[in-house]
Amino acid sequence: MSKNYIVGFPRIGEQRELKKVLEEFWAKKCSFEDVQTVAKELKKRHWEYQRDAGIEFISSNDFSLYDNMLDTSVMLGAIPKKFKNLKNEELYFAMARGNASSVAMEMTKWFNTNYHYIVPELEPSDSYKLDASKIVNEYNEAKSLGIKTKINIIGPITYLGLSKRADGGDTYELWGKIVPIYEELVKTIATLDDEITIQIDEPIFVKEPNTKVLSLIKPTYDRLCAVSPNIKIAVVTYFEHSNEATKVLVHTPIWALGLDFLYGDENLNSLEIIASSGKKVIAGVVDGRNIWRCDIAKTIALLQNISKIVKKENILLSSSCSLLHTPFTLKYEDKMDKDIKEWLSFALEKLSEISLISKIFFDGEGSINEREKEALINNEEANKSRKNSPLIHDRAVQERVQNHTKFQRDGISSERIALQREIFGYKDLVTTTIGSFPQTPELRRTRSDFKNSLISRDEYEKEIKKYIDECVLFQEECGLEVLVHGEPERNDMVEYFGEQLSGYGFTQNGWVQSYGSRCVKPPFIYGDISRPKPMTVDWTTYAQSKTERIMKGMLTGPVTILNWSFVRDDMPRGEVSKQIAVALSDEIDDLQRAGIKIIQVDEAAFKEGYPLRNEKIKIYEAWATRDFKIAVGSAKKETQIHTHMCYSEFNDIINTIEDMDADVITIETARSGNELLKIFKKVGYTKEVGPGVYDIHSPRIPSVEEIVSQIELLLEVLPKEQLWINPDCGLKTRKWEEVKPSLKNMVEAVSIIRKKL
């Protein structure tokens, strides 16, 4: 008998149905019943897809109208005070998105994925109360369709580990209040059926668990397992190994451990102790967060290795994590190159892979029917074709990247910056922006009309140039000192470069949920990367020709391009990033030859690529820094290199930032006063820094006084010679009516401060 298992399934819908109906509901164009109707249809469809593919363990409660962590807060009654007067969907969406009187709860990245969860806000004085309605309803919904599901819940230790406390205290102190609610939940679930499996997700176990976390495992799972004899608990981790936790879990009465053997192959080291505990292993062997077709022969070999230690009857075959992190299906991709499409597998296709592999592994190749035999042959051929395809392997690129020797810029930063200051003659507290200006509906239409051949290239260029002209004019009038062209030609800071680099593929419908109703459509890297021709030089030199002031060139850095793409799995990430870096170094050289004096290389996603395990962090930092430095290595001493990072946790990475050796870094600080800047001071950072002086994430227009006091705060930490003045991040999501007065106020604030100094 084949035993297979899916950790979780995407919920947004293959045509983003959930997104659409939610956004209509928020815009008051439909009722909440309409949302529920769509949700119900989607759940049904997704369960049926899994059942029809031959999946045995299908989840309920992996669905969510916004986010599963938020659902868990609601389940526990962990509602921040400011929302306590609300109920039902009004409460739920206010927590997620804010309402007229309160801002939303914080949102942050789910481990090292691009999915964002709503951060629970706990207080020691809170009291919790179980609301199991969503979980019970979903279970019964599936049951009424004849599908018996396992129930997914986020584990108490992960929940606490990812929460924050208003008073800054340790969230694990609330364990004693939270665990009884989980016990009650398990008790409620136990009444739903004769025997029920509960999947408890504890991904916090993979993130260098400390002794506190480890000490909570046994009491938690001893208690939850003791609630009722008809409950089987599977504790599931993913994205890395969880060996420390496994050592404890094998001594609890849980039924199974779910382990990721792809992103945490060190889990193999735990097989002996699991085997002797007699517990089941839910073996995550099909990649749940990438888009490549599984190599069935390789996967079977891995399973066979596992079964040398753990008895076959104790193995279940699974996705490495929830399929939430992959696009939905290939079936709408009718424009993609046929060969390339053969190499891919999205959530729906992965179901069939898992089903087929489990048949072969558990029942032998002899057990599969004709159609499955064909699928198996097809799989072999696709993998062979991918290995040998000229679309992937470009000898010239490989040799060039291998022989690349320029690993850093000439000169030391103090020398370079002195030289640049002499040539450019900019004042202290020089003003600039981060790159993009408002993406208006007209602009979006121009780009899409051009893409769909509704307007000619000439018409397109005329429109883009008009935007650049207006942008330059505004910046001059406003008094900004280092200008940008505004990025009107870019849909997205990675897609734009991906479209121009060889080795990159795109989907029409490969949406992945990022948060709430928001989805992203990452491009994918399938082959060796090269730059057939300059990517930004024409637009940048055009913009420069319109002004006497310095026009800053604008590129996305190699690590960000990598981190916001699906990446080929037949080559280490660091190698792929190096190829991108070499291509970018050519672009920088072309820009400086064309007279561009300042070039910004954005590394917005540098931080999110950080691995979850310390020993891997060192390796990541080494190649990520190397590749940033390769990219800018072609810049002459007098070409000023900027970088931009938009987040606020620099404490752990300040040495790496120092090492990246950019002449100027602009960062996000507006929401944290001058706290963030202090770390730059502490390490004796000598290069220039542009801490954002106002928050661009909000439509609010900051007043002159406010910006003056923000700059004064910054000056308490770093001297004026070291500071640039700019907004927090790019302005593309804002409206011109917000951007114009905000920037005018910023420039005026600088002139007030300059007079005072």
> Is 602 marked as binding a ligand?
yes
Q: Measured at CB, which residue is nearest to ligand GLN?
A: 730
200-229 residues in contact with Zn ion (CB under 5 A) are: none
Residue closest to 573 by CA, chosen among 563, 582, 583, 584: 563
User: d(Cα 367, Cα 396) in Å, to the nearest integer?
Assistant: 46
| Of 351-359, 368-376, 423-431, 722-730: span binding Zn ion (CB under 5 A) | 722-730
Do residues 213 and 205 touch, judged by C-beta distance below 8 A?
yes
Q: Is 697 assigned a catalytic role?
A: yes
DSSP state for residue 83 in the 8-state scheme: G
Taking residue 184's Cβ as centre, other Cβ atoms within 10 Å add up to 15
In terms of CB distance, is 359 or 644 closer to ligand GLN? 644
At what angle are helices 441-451 and 457-478 packed, to 10 degrees?
150
User: How near is the Cβ of 114 to ligand GLN at its closest, in Å?
Assistant: 13
554 binds, among ligand GLN, Zn ion, none (CB under 5 to 8 A by kind): ligand GLN
> Is 487 marked as binding a ligand?
yes
605 binding Zn ion? (CB under 5 A): no
In terms of CB distance, is 306 or 599 closer to Zn ion? 599
> Is 668 marked as binding a ligand?
yes
> Is 519 marked as binding a ligand?
yes
User: How near is the Cβ of 645 to ligand GLN at its closest, in Å?
Assistant: 7
> Is 19 marked as binding a ligand?
yes
> Is 565 marked as binding a ligand?
no
User: How near is the Cβ of 641 to Zn ion at its closest, in Å?
Assistant: 17
> Is 659 marked as binding a ligand?
yes
Do residues 740 and 471 touch, judged by C-beta distance below 8 A?
no
User: How near is the Cβ of 728 to ligand GLN at its closest, in Å?
Assistant: 9
Residue closest to 379 by CA, chosen among 508, 506, 510, 286: 286
| Of 395-403, 555-563, 705-713, 729-737: span binding Zn ion (CB under 5 A) | 729-737
Q: Which two tokens stand for residue 591?
A: 């820009």
In terms of CB distance, is 362 or 564 closer to ligand GLN? 564
Query: How many residues bind to Zn ion according to rule CB under 5 A?
Result: 3
Q: Please name the residues in contact with 100: beta carbons below 8 A apart, sequence gap of 6 or more.
A: none
Q: Which of 501, 646, 693, 743 is in the footprint of Zn ion by CB under 5 A?
A: 646
User: How near is the Cβ of 434 to Zn ion at its closest, in Å?
Assistant: 6
In terms of CB distance, is 178 or 562 closer to ligand GLN? 562
Strands 430-431 and 724-725: parallel
Q: Which two tokens stand for residue 659?
A: 């090492």
132 binds, among ligand GLN, Zn ion, none (CB under 5 to 8 A by kind): none
User: d(Cα 732, Cα 519) in Å, to the nearest integer?
Assistant: 17
689 binds, among ligand GLN, Zn ion, none (CB under 5 to 8 A by kind): none
> Is 729 marked as binding a ligand?
yes
Q: Is 176 exposed, middle or buried (0-12, 13-18, 19+ CB in 10 A)?
A: exposed
Strand partners, 641: 599
> Is 374 marked as binding a ligand?
no
Q: Measured at CB, which residue is nearest to Zn ion?
A: 646
Q: Which of 281, 550, 630, 729 is in the footprint of Zn ion by CB under 5 A?
A: 729
User: d(Cα 732, Cα 491) in Å, to the nearest integer?
Assistant: 10
DSSP state for residue 486 in the 8-state scheme: B
Burial 235-273 (b: 16+ CB within 10 A, else e): bbbbbbbbbbbbebbbebebebbbbbbbbbeebbebbeb
544 binds, among ligand GLN, Zn ion, none (CB under 5 to 8 A by kind): none
DSSP state for residue 278 in the 8-state scheme: T
In terms of CB distance, is 310 or 493 closer to ligand GLN? 493
User: How near is the Cβ of 735 to Zn ion at its closest, in Å?
Assistant: 18
Do residues 731 and 474 touch, judged by C-beta distance below 8 A?
no
In terms of CB distance, is 302 or 729 closer to Zn ion? 729
Alpha helical stretches, state H, 389-525: 395-402, 413-424, 441-451, 457-478, 495-500
State the Cα angle at 197 between 192 and 199, rounded to 5°.
120
213 binds, among Zn ion, ligand GLN, none (CB under 5 to 8 A by kind): none
Residue closest to 544 by CA, chosen among 635, 632, 468: 468
User: How near is the Cβ of 433 to Zn ion at its closest, in Å?
Assistant: 11
Taking residue 703's Cβ as centre, other Cβ atoms within 10 Å add up to 15
For ligand GLN, the binding residues (CB under 6 A) are 434-436, 487, 493, 554, 602, 604, 644, 646, 729-730, 732
User: How near is the Cβ of 732 to ligand GLN at its closest, in Å?
Assistant: 5
> Is 321 marked as binding a ligand?
no
In terms of CB distance, is 359 or 552 closer to ligand GLN? 552
397 binds, among Zn ion, ligand GLN, none (CB under 5 to 8 A by kind): none
Do residues 562 and 616 touch, judged by C-beta distance below 8 A?
no
> Is 678 marked as binding a ligand?
no
| Of 386-394, 484-492, 643-651, 695-703: span binding Zn ion (CB under 5 A) | 643-651
In terms of CB distance, is 147 or 537 closer to ligand GLN? 537
In terms of CB distance, is 213 or 729 closer to Zn ion? 729
Do residues 439 and 732 touch, judged by C-beta distance below 8 A?
yes
User: How near is the Cβ of 41 to ligand GLN at its closest, in Å?
Assistant: 35
Helix, strand, coil shares of the chain as percentages rounded to 5?
A: 50, 15, 35
Order the strands of the 566-567 sheet from edge to edge. 502-505, 524-530, 566-567
DSSP state for residue 513 in the 8-state scheme: E
> Is 518 marked as binding a ligand?
yes
Three-state DSSP state, 177: helix
Residues in the site for Zn ion, rule: CB under 5 A?
A: 604, 646, 729
> Which residues are annotated as part of the binding site?
16-19, 109, 114, 434-436, 487, 518-519, 564, 602, 608, 644, 646, 659, 668, 729
> Which residues are annotated as part of the binding site for 5-methyltetrahydropteroyltri-L-glutamate?
16-19, 109, 114, 518-519, 564, 608
> Which residues are annotated as part of the binding site for Zn(2+)?
644, 646, 659, 668, 729
Known catalytic residues?
697
> Which residues are annotated as part of the binding site for L-homocysteine?
434-436, 487, 602
